[in-house]
Amino acid sequence: MRIGLVAKKLGMTRFFKDDGTNVPVTLLGIEKNYVTRIRDGAVSDSKYIQIAAGKIKIKNVTKPIRNYFSKLKIEPKRKILEFKVKVDETNPKIGDTLNASFFKVGQYVDAIGKSIGKGFAGSMKRHNFGGLRASHGVSISHRSHGSTGQCQDPGRTFKGKKMAGQMGYKKITVHNLEVVDINNEDDLILVKGAVPGSKGTILVLRDAIKPKSLRVKEKKEEIIEESSKTKDKSKQDETTEKKNEGGDKKEVKK
């Protein structure tokens, strides 16, 4: 498992391929990711690599963090992350910088970030409840969720009950996003599909941890296509054989 990168969501657009088809993509800006710290893990063959990225005003940085970055001779960064990796010669060293070339076109990545916050939402919007009757018998409680508890036993509402509350602004991981294109000049990564958060959201990009499911689906589709092609070929061969047999019979009659 490699380390990841800190990226910034810039918005969505579409990317035209060589064959003319277009793909909906998300633009991810990669500012310089600095390796600020490396420490040994609890296991002998593991290490923790710390990465810092993102611009931030110095007045918004606490004094301890300011001193920490001054020792490294780096400007204070907005996001500090730590990745657990196995000991390897290819692992970066303290002071190294990582950019968009860290990933390759065609590979799959995971995007981790916070979803867009919707505020305090009711049960119908938050959990897709049906609500109460909109006609006779209901008085000013059409969008309520109804009963939430039981009788005297247990006499309480269980934790995790679907009710009204804060909607959105939660940590979400979107798996198996394809890297469509990489612009090394502007440090941009174009990812197929949507990622959590709005414009300006800070995300974490890493190698996909479960791309096997995607590959299995692709293999199944390839097998189905091959089987359909073989069936079509066999049907064509049968029709040609029948035509040849019919022509031979006509020649014999003559």
Mean pLDDT in residue range 227-247? 68
Mean pLDDT in residue range 172-185? 93
User: CA–CA separation, 118 vs 207, rounded Å?
Assistant: 29
- Residue 243 pLDDT > 70: no
For domain 5-117+169-210, which architecture applies?
Beta Barrel (2.40)
Alpha helix (H) ranges present in the chain?
Answer: 63-72, 123-127, 212-253
pLDDT in the model for residue 216: 61
User: CA–CA separation, 60 vs 221, rounded Å?
Assistant: 52
130-176 tens-digit pLDDT: 999 988 888 889 999 988 888 888 888 899 999 999 999 999 999 99
- Residue 224 pLDDT > 90: no
65-120 tens-digit pLDDT: 999 999 998 899 999 999 988 887 778 888 889 999 999 998 999 999 999 999 99
User: CA–CA separation, 245 vs 148, rounded Å?
Assistant: 77
The three state secondary structure string of 84-118 is EEECCCCCCCCCCEECHHHCCCCCEEEEEEECCCC
Q: Is the pTM of this model over 0.85?
A: no
- Residue 251 pLDDT > 60: no
Domain locations along the chain: 5-117+169-210, 118-147+160-167, 211-254
Of the pLDDT bands very low, low, confident and very high (cuts 50, 70, 90), residue 40 is confident
